Homo-oligomer: A and B are copies of this chain.
Amino acid sequence: PMRPYEKDPTKIYAQSFATVRAEARLGRFPEDLQPMAIRLIHACGMVEIADRLAFSPGAMAAGRAALAAGAPVICDCEMVGAGLIRRRLPGTEIIVTLNDARVPDMARDLGTTRSAAAVELWREHIEGAVIAIGNAPTALFHLLERLDEGWPKPALILGFPVGFVGAAESKAELAANPRGCDFVALKGRRGGSAMAAAAVNALAGGISEERA
């Protein structure tokens, strides 16, 4: 027979977060960002990402204020949206434009990826918004280009594109010059929808039982 395993959601959570607190170097984060760092670690099972998170000191305050003011969360792909704890985001509009019918033609006309073209449709929603990028480096690059051209600024950019072409570079560009926006980003190749969603969920409230 199998060995016994923990089935109590409360205990699972307590033990998980105790492990993260024991193993991860959280001291470099402002106190209000520590819950986001913990959630990010919890989402990926890697305590060492704490050492690779870049952030602006006001990121948590900016994100919370944006949500409190009714700003939308704009995601680069459906998986990020699917990872949001919607009961913690009552009244928050979640916007994903990647599968908009106009995007393939826009991508062709702009000579870029669908993910980057989908950013074009963020324009009317972006001022003061929370941006969560968990997939495509080209979406983050395209956003930064549009901000350089004078687009209104989002309140917070959560930068977690993943992969081998442009992910590290796009997040390094964001961290080096966040264009006046607050931001959190995981340096390097790692990232993903689960982390982007976890970062948004951290804005929305305390640590709870959604994994259980």
CB distance from A127 to the nearest CB of B (A): 22
A162-195 Cβ-contact flags toward B at 8 Å (1 or 0): 1111110110010000000000000011111110
Q: Is the CB of B79 within 8 A of A5?
A: no
Report A44-72 residues with CB < 8 Å from chain B CB.
44-46
Stoichiometry, as copies per complex, reads 2
Q: Is A43 an interface residue (CB 8 A)?
A: yes
CB distance from A178 to the nearest CB of B (A): 13
Q: Is the CB of B45 within 8 A of A2?
A: no
A45 proximity list for chain B (CB < 8 A): 162-164, 167, 188-192
Known: A190-B46, A194-B192. A6 touches B166 (CB 8 A): yes
Q: Is A113 an interface residue (CB 8 A)?
A: yes
- Alpha-carbon gap, A45 to B138, bound state (A): 15
List the 6 closest A-B pairs by CB distance, nearest first.
Answer: A45-B189, A82-B82, A7-B112, A19-B164, A113-B212, A16-B164
